[in-house]
Copies of this chain bind each other. A is one copy, B any other.
Amino acid sequence: MKHVTIRALARELNLSVSTISKALRDSYEISAETKQRVLALAATLNYTPNPYASSLRGKKSRTIGVVVPEVADSFFSLAINGIESVMKAMGYHVLICLTHEQFDNERLILKEFQSGRVDGVLLSVSRETLSGEHIRDLAAQDVPVVFFDRVLDEVQAARIVTNDFESGYAATAHLVENGCREIVYLGISESLSISNRRMEGYRQALADHRLTCRAGNVVACTNDAAENYKTVKKMLQRKASRPDGIVASVEKLTTTVYQACNDLRLRIPADVKVVCFSNLEIATILHPSLTTITQPAFEMGRAAASLLLKAIKGNNVMSAEMVIPSVLIPRGSSLR
């Protein structure tokens, strides 16, 4: 079956192409009767407008790009749900692109977006991203960019974040208050905004509680689970000053930490207490249940999407910044 175009409708009704187009868009120029006829025929012939023709002509695609490191991660998948809920309501499409935490992928994706494929971009940078040249290049083409969660301070753009510093602080203070004295912080990257801010909160909390931060107690994990497992295991095997508390800055380190403790016969929370940044619903049924810093993933997605829509409408939101707080949910893994 051939795709039915506006021209086919025009022929059928003995009207001009422009009349059809206007009728479909409910223009005041067209009589009510003609509109009815057009709508009716369009419905029976199952007419669906070619989005690419509209995009080409109108210079807007009603599509946004979402650039994230990973989709198999509860924070990002929930954030995507939030984004989608807003965009669907406004009739926008969502093009999801994965960087797999690699800068080069991110760079190529954003370069491609200079083509006008998307009207705006929601970005959570990769763990490798250090420079923001590629982001500025995109913004220079009048494609609005809104950061969410993982931002690049160097780039001036709108951002939706959570209170990483305070959360890092809260997690650490919580462990201290539950008796920990040798707390380690597991980061995810040396450059990533969220990882560093959470770490600063961690440091501040230690300082405020008159605890020194041992050099080896801050570890930047990699993207390789096996490697991280070794690292964590080694820490937990230290003869002197074995860690009695762990702040894990990212969800996927949960498995690593629990696994390492299990394998070393260290009991959580008796021997080691754990707090993890995580949105896993399943945290409640871990054994022991996991104390989490739960990020407002869905809300962050919603907020970022709304802000991007404003930017697309022409508002200047470059300096907008919204902080949606995370919450510490104490559970079994950190009880005294």
Contact = CB atoms under 8 A, between A and B. Distances in A.
A89 interface: no
Interface string A68-108: 00011110011011001000000001111110000000000
Contacts of A94: 95-97
Given A3-B141, A77-B71, A96-B96, A287 B284 contact: no
Contacts of A80: 71-72, 96
Interface string A114-140: 111100000000000000000001001
Nearest to A108: B88
Give the size range of A's interface with the partner.
35 or more
A79 to B, nearest CB: 9
Contacts of A252: 281
A305 to B, nearest CB: 14
Task: State the number of copies, please.
Answer: 2
Nearest to A256: B285
A310 B226 CA distance: 36
B286 A111 contact: no
A8 to B, nearest CB: 14
A1 B140 contact: yes
A34 interface: no
Interface of A: 1, 3, 46, 48-53, 55-56, 61, 71-74, 77-78, 80-81, 84, 93-98, 111-112, 114-117, 137, 140-142, 252, 254-255, 258-259, 262, 280-282, 284-288
